[in-house]
Amino acid sequence: MLRTPALALVLWLVVAAPAAAADDDGLWWPDALDVARLTAAGATGEGVQVAVVDGGISPDLPLLADADLTVLAPSTCLDVDGDVTAPGVGPQLSVATFHGTNVTAMIDGAGVDGAVAGIAPDARVSFYATADDDGTPCVRDLDGGDIGFAQAIVDAVDDGARIVSLSIGTLDGPTREALAWALHEGVVVVAAVGNFEGDDDTLPMVNGLVAVQAEDSDLQPEGTGTPDGPVGHDHVTVVAPGVDVRLQGNLATGSWDDEVVTTGTSFAAPLVAGMLADLAQRYPAATPNQLIQDLVATAVPYGDGADPQVVGYGRADPVAMLQVDPTTYPDVNPLITTDPQTDGDLSAEEIAQATRPDLPDVGWTVDDTRSSEDVTAADGGDSATPAAVEDQTSPSVAIAATIAVLGAFIAAGLVARRRRRRARRHIAPGDPGPGPRPSHAAHR
pTM: 0.80
Q: Give the pLDDT score at 340.
A: 62
pLDDT top residue among 61 and 397 = 61
* pLDDT at residue number 5: 28
Q: Looking at the domain assignment, is residue 426 inside a domain?
A: no
For 35-44, what is the mean pLDDT? 92
Cα separation, 329 vs 377, in Å, equals 47
Query: Which of 45-49, 76-80, 363-367 has the highest mean predicted lDDT (pLDDT)?
Result: 45-49
With cut-offs at 50, 70 and 90, classify the pLDDT of residue 343.
Answer: low
pLDDT mean across residues, the chain: 76
Q: Is residue 258 included in any domain, yes or no?
A: yes
Residue 230 included in any domain: yes
User: Is the pLDDT assigned to residue 339 strictly greater than 60?
Assistant: yes
Tell me the C-alpha to C-alpha distance, in Å, between residue 31 and each of 19, 107, 249, 296, 425: 21, 16, 23, 21, 21
For the domain that residue 140 is a member of, what is the CATH number? 3.40.50.200
Q: Structural domain tally of the chain?
A: 1
- Mean pLDDT score, 135-145: 74
- Burial of 259-280, coded b for 16+ CB within 10 Å and e otherwise, reads bbbbbbbbbbbbbbbbbbbbbb
Does residue 432 fall inside a structural domain? no
Asked if the model's pLDDT at residue 356 lies above 90, the reply is: yes
Residue 124 confidence (pLDDT) = 96
pLDDT confidence of residue 390: 30
With respect to residue 274, please indicate whether it lies within any of the assigned structural domains: yes
pLDDT in tens, 344-354: 678 888 999 99
pLDDT at residue 64 tops 60:
yes
Q: Is residue 264 part of a domain?
A: yes
| HSE (side-chain half, CA atoms, 13 Å) at 41 | 26
Structural domain including 388 reads: 9-419
Residue 3 falls inside a structural domain: no
